[in-house]
Amino acid sequence: MTLPLSAATTTFLILSLTLGVLFLVSRLGTDHQILPVTTEWLNDLSTDRYRPMLRLLQEADFHFLCSQQGFTPQMASRLRRQRVHAFRGYLDMLQADFDRVAAALRLILAHSSYDRPELASLLFQRRMMFAVTLMSVQLRIVLFRLGLSGVDVSSLIHLFEGMRLDLRTLVPVSSPMAA
C-alpha cells in the first residue's frame, strides 16, 4: 500500500469514528419528545405501526422487478428512492416514539420514591444500543440506495418494544402521568 493511500484510509477511518462518536453523543444527550405521556398515546403505542419497515427495503421486490419485461434501471432507481423516503418517515416516527418512551422512563426514575439503579442502567444500555443500531441502519440505507444491500430494522423494533413494555409496567392506567 502506498503512503498516500494509507494516509487517506487512516484519515477516512478517523473521520468516520469521530462522526460516529458525535452522533452517539448527540443521540444520548437530546430528547425529541413531548411530555407528558397520555393514556391514549400509551394505549396506541405499538410495534405494529412499524411492521411495514421490515419489508420495505428488502431486495426481493427489486429482484422480481428486474425479472419483468420492460424493466429499466431507472424504474429500480425511482422505486429505491421512494422506498427510502417512506422508510425514513417510519424511522423518524420510531425514533421519536423511542425517545418519548425513554424520556417518560427517565421522568419516572427521577420522581420515584426509591432508587432503581438496575432500571436506570437498563435504560442507558438500551438508549446506547438504539443509537448504535440506528447509526448502522442509516449506513445500510446509503448502501441500499446504491443497490448494495437490504436493510434489517428488526433489532430497532425489538429495542423499542422492550422500552415500551417497561413503560407499560411502570405506568398504571390511573397514574397522573398517563392522564
40-86 pLDDT, tens digit per residue, is 777 788 889 999 999 898 888 888 888 889 888 898 889 889 999 99
The answer to whether residue 81 is domain-embedded is yes
pTM here? 0.73
The answer to whether residue 76 is domain-embedded is yes
The answer to whether residue 48 is domain-embedded is no
The answer to whether residue 28 is domain-embedded is no
For 127-164, what is each residue's pLDDT tens digit? Answer: 999 999 999 999 999 999 888 888 999 999 999 999 99
Residue 28 pLDDT grade (very low, low, confident, very high; cuts 50, 70, 90): very low
The answer to whether residue 51 is domain-embedded is no
The residue type at 57:
L
Tell me how far apart the alpha carbons of residues 57 and 86 are, in angstroms, rounded to a whole number: 10
Cell matching residue 37 = 405521556
The answer to whether residue 157 is domain-embedded is yes
Torsion sign, CA atoms 87, 92, 95, 101 = negative
127: which residues sit within 8 A by CB, 6+ positions away?
27, 28, 102
Q: Total structural domains in the chain?
A: 1
The answer to whether residue 164 is domain-embedded is yes
Which domain range does residue 164 map to?
A: 58-179
Mean pLDDT score, 109-115: 83
The answer to whether residue 75 is domain-embedded is yes
Say if residue 16's pLDDT is above 60: no
